[in-house]
């Protein structure tokens, strides 16, 4: 509990995805022998990112380039919830030329995975995201970031 100023109670909640905050408020009210509802809701973090990672609207509106550059999140970090494979030079070449990739290129057995896979270069930059297509039995590019 962050603060109590009847009839308001200010709380922080750490929860998993799928938690219904409005339902939680009603439940808290019932436990306290009264009724309750949300007067406000602010998400302060999700998927490893927090409000501290955010850029304020004024900096965006004023195109404050140094501020925006300092808060830029690299795509590889933004997609860090996906498994990754480091590309070898041959794989990078195939990606740059739009050639099909396979398990022989060093990717994990795609039939065991239902999630896309990030392919990163040796510096940690995102090259591509691929996924296994069950109907064709092949790896398909979701997106390519190599120039």
91 φ, ψ (degrees, to nearest 5): -65, -40
Residue 69 CA, distance from chain mean position: 19
**Phi/psi at 70 (5° precision):** -70, -25
Residue 55 has pLDDT above 80, yes or no: yes
Could you count the other beta carbons within 10 Å of the beta carbon of residue 120?
A: 18
Give the pLDDT band (50/70/90) at residue 113: low
Distances in Å between the Cα of 84 and the Cα atoms of 56, 135, 138 are: 31, 23, 18
pLDDT digit string, tens, across residues 17-36? 888 999 999 999 999 999 99
Rounded-to-integer distance, Cα 55 and Cα 44, Å: 13
Element (H, E) at 96: helix 89-96
Residue 15 pLDDT exceeds 70: yes
């Amino acid at each position: 509990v962050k603060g109590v100023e009847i009839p308001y109670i200010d709380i922080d909640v750490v929860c998993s995805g799928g938690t219904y905050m409005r339902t939680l408020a009603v439940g808290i009210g019932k436990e306290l022998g009264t009724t309750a509802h949300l007067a406000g809701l602010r998400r302060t973090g999700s998927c490893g990112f927090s409000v501290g990672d955010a850029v304020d609207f004024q900096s965006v509106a004023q195109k404050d380039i140094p501020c925006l550059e300092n808060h830029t999140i690299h795509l590889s970090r933004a997609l860090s919830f996906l498994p990754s494979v480091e590309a070898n030079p041959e794989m990078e070449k195939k990606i740059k030329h739009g050639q099909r990739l396979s398990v022989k290129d060093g990717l994990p057995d795609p039939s065991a995975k239902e999630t896309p896979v990030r392919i990163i270069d040796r510096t940690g930059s995102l090259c591509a995201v691929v996924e296994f297509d069950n109907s064709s039995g092949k790896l398909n590019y979701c997106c390519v970031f190599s120039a």
